[in-house]
Chain A
């Protein structure tokens, strides 16, 4: 049989290869003795490496000599790779041996949830690993191959419940004595690499739980430092195991923990920051008790960039608050209370945000809606001003340095200059040194409004002082001068001067001609308009007033006194037949009783005419005397003097003694508001309401006359023109309905018009 050429060549080739291999394996030994030696070595090597079932078989004794010889032979004949390959194949075949145990452990764990089972399992697997691991002398490639095979299989058989079990196991070691063996095993089995996130999340969860547990609602002490020391004491200790096991000295430990440590520190800050952000409203309410929490928040914000979150939280909070307030205002019809509240809130917010962010960028971003709201409130200025002069002055912190109210220009030569915060908007103006009051005043474009209001308030306060002690007001003015500048407060200065001058003038006049009256003399042009009345003081009062006036003119020739008699008070002694009364009354009351000293019986209208005062006011004055039991109304509008008290039987014949002597008629100008109350009989809330509604009705009539028919909401918005209108549309609706019943208006299809 002829052999084709190709076949022969192939055979040649195979033969030469075979020979070469043989030579290699035989190691140039005579005959096949080399081969036999190799075979022995191979068998030994495979046997040595073979992964046995450790449950049934002991590992073979490790014989240094035999091992060395074997692998020398295998290495020399360049067949080591084959050994590894065979080992790998053997390993693959044998690996499923561990399955049974692993699954059994996992089953137990699922039943008991006992993490020690997981630990036992891992340690057991590690035993398998140790039994099977090739000796290190074989070099790293075989080790790598082994580890890969082993881990791949191990991970593949782990049930899905393992990660959480593993995490639980990690967590269980917190606060326990360190367990280096276990962590070493974790690393050996590649668990640490694979579940790094889980280990970290153990930490994160610890941090979050700790923050929740210790920090919620705890604003009165700095928590961040406590958290950090807790971290240092408890967590870092624990972190050494997963992250810095290999460290040989504290120096190394520190450097190994540095990266992960700062990650956890960041998480501490972030968690605390999140918590405080959600709590911010109550923190502000609690200020200044919540100061430590604010300092914490400030520190956290420097670490964590969550300023925008804080801003949006605050803004939405305040939006809600304002909406609520607006709703409240409509419901309660009580504009005064909530302005104070909101101002108070705003001031707390100013203070809080200045702690967190001294340049005021945050405040600037948050405050806008509040400021807009306040600007729209009619009594904001009054509230601010009254706190400026120390009435209900919780808005102003006494300890705060008083600063002039000037727009600050950036001072670049200031060594402490800092650039604007990164999130400062273009319209942000640096106002670093501004205090609370400056911030409040800056709600309005100009401070003139404040100065005006200040004058009114000062007028009220000065006139209410009866003991001649103006020190407090003087001090207020001095403080305010620093804020608003000398010029703005010049008028206030004059007002103060008037008060002291009054005393001086009075002393002079008294020295010329003693008088019972001690007027306060004010310069008309420098005082806010005061309530003027037409009250004509009768009888002896008239005399007193005129005498005094004459003396004054003699003293100050170019000046004339014009009395505002309704603003004073009098101390009277009323002598009646059977009793004497000492009373402290307003001038109108005094005037009324003076008239009774000329005539025992008066008709209301006559009194009114005599005194040139509205009859309702006179009636009120009469009521005072009725209360004192000095007069009584025997018929409607007809009053008689009770010379003897009503209980004391028959009416005495004698004349009433004139209210006499100890009468110091002090021209003392009260608050305009108070004056109004005095002038009119005390109106009930409903009467006041009705009175206001009468004004509003005029406006409604006006708009309906000229604009035809209007829907309710248009009427509501148009009533903006009516001064002080603050009703809700629902109230207006009720009012319009009442007007409709009275036949003043008709409503067709929701449109109101005047009925004609």
Chain B
């Protein structure tokens, strides 16, 4: 038994290493990973976050929804985001943008997001679900040290004024949905 185990173990693992560098096989495994993530996300029932592929033809483009967590200034507001997975996902982070206007210190007016795990802190162990949860918490706890929206960062400490600005930009989703 031992002999078999030891003699067989290395060849079993080596094709796996090879396959991750192999582009052709990679696409299939990315699709598989995304399918699994979708399944997990659908069955996880985390409140206030959700995402789904935009069309049945392309698993690499998703639309997402984030609700502001209760108790934060964003409570009750819902934002639409877009998630675009690169072909070499999960070795490279997905590109995420706010589609509906979001007045937030770390979100610029075009919807770009400044979040460490989407940039240099990205790791393949993260998933759509963890990203969505991070974004949800980012809403309530912005990183004012590296703002993309300086006005918002400056206003953050005066919640009332911030809320006014927030609501000026906010567009409830659902009206624009196709």
Contact = CB atoms under 8 A, between A and B. Distances in A.
B39 interface: yes
Contact of A525 (B9, B39, B63): B9
B38 interface: yes
A246 interface: no
The range of chain B's interface size is: 20 to 34
B65 interface: yes
A182 B52 CA distance: 89
Contacts of A756: 174
B8 A706 contact: no
A707 B9 contact: no
Interface in B4-51: 4-5, 8-9, 12, 35, 38-39, 41-43, 45, 50-51
Interface stretch (A339-347, A426-434, A674-682, A713-721): A713-721
A702 B1 contact: no
A526 interface: yes
B90 interface: no
A194 interface: no
Interface centre among B1, B38, B43, B62 (most CB of A within 10 A): B1
Interface string B47-66: 00011111110010011110
A699 B43 CA distance: 8
A525 B12 contact: yes
A254 to B, nearest CB: 65
Contact of B1 (A523, A721, A723): A523
A204 B106 CA distance: 89
Interface in A684-715: 695, 698-699, 701-703, 705-709, 714
Interface string A552-590: 000010110000000000000000000000000000000
B4 A706 contact: no
B145 interface: no
A391 to B, nearest CB: 27
A274 interface: no
B2 to A, nearest CB: 7
Contacts of A706: 50-52, 62-65, 80
B177 interface: yes
A494 interface: yes
Interface in A458-499: 490-491, 494, 497-498
A614 interface: no
Nearest to B67: A705
Interface in B60-91: 62-65, 80
A709 B5 contact: no
Taking chain B's interface residues, is the majority helix, strand, or loop, or is none over half, making it mixed?
mixed
A724 B20 CA distance: 27
A206 B8 CA distance: 72
B94 to A, nearest CB: 15
Given A497-B1, A525-B9, A707-B63, A702 B177 contact: no
A94 B1 CA distance: 114
A557 to B, nearest CB: 11
B50 A717 contact: no
A707 B54 contact: yes
Given A523-B5, A558-B2, A705 B177 contact: no
B124 interface: no
Nearest to A723: B39
A600 interface: no
Contacts of B45: 698
Interface string A486-524: 000011001001100100000000000000000000010
Contacts of B125: none
A501 B45 CA distance: 45
A234 to B, nearest CB: 65
B63 to A, nearest CB: 4
Taking chain A's interface residues, is the majority helix, strand, or loop, or is none over half, making it mixed?
helix
Nearest to A699: B42
B53 A721 contact: yes
Nearest to B178: A708
Contact of B56 (A698, A705, A717, A753): A717
Interface in A704-749: 705-709, 714, 717-718, 720-723
Contact of B43 (A525, A698, A707): A698
A708 B174 contact: yes
A709 B178 CA distance: 6
B13 to A, nearest CB: 10
A708 B62 CA distance: 13
Contacts of B54: 707
Nearest to B83: A706
B43 A497 contact: no
Given A525-B5, A721-B38, A705 B65 contact: yes
A698 B38 CA distance: 11
Nearest to A709: B177
A708 B177 contact: yes
B35 A494 contact: no
B174 to A, nearest CB: 7
Contacts of A556: 1
A497 B9 contact: no
A525 B39 CA distance: 26
Given A695-B43, A708-B177, A721 B51 contact: no
A501 B62 CA distance: 50
B12 A702 contact: no
A717 B59 CA distance: 13
Given A526-B8, A698-B42, A720 B51 contact: no
B47 to A, nearest CB: 12
Contact of A707 (B39, B42, B177): B177
B8 A703 contact: no
A559 B6 CA distance: 13
Interface string B161-178: 000000000000110011
B100 to A, nearest CB: 12
B35 to A, nearest CB: 7
Contacts of B42: 695, 698-699, 701-702, 722
A13 to B, nearest CB: 104
Contacts of A714: 56
Nearest to B4: A494
A721 B51 CA distance: 13
B9 A501 contact: no
Given A523-B1, A526-B8, A695-B43, A703 B178 contact: no
A753 B173 CA distance: 13
Contacts of A717: 56
A702 B50 contact: yes
17 contacts: A494-B8, A498-B1, A523-B5, A525-B5, A702-B41, A702-B52, A706-B51, A706-B62, A707-B178, A718-B53, A718-B56, A720-B56, A721-B56, A721-B59, A723-B35, A753-B174, A756-B174
Given A525-B9, A559-B1, A695-B42, 18 more contacts: A497-B1, A498-B1, A525-B5, A556-B1, A695-B43, A698-B43, A701-B42, A702-B42, A702-B50, A706-B52, A706-B63, A707-B63, A708-B174, A714-B56, A721-B56, A723-B39, A753-B177, A756-B174
Interface of A: 490-491, 494, 497-498, 501, 523, 525-526, 556, 558-559, 695, 698-699, 701-703, 705-709, 714, 717-718, 720-723, 753, 756
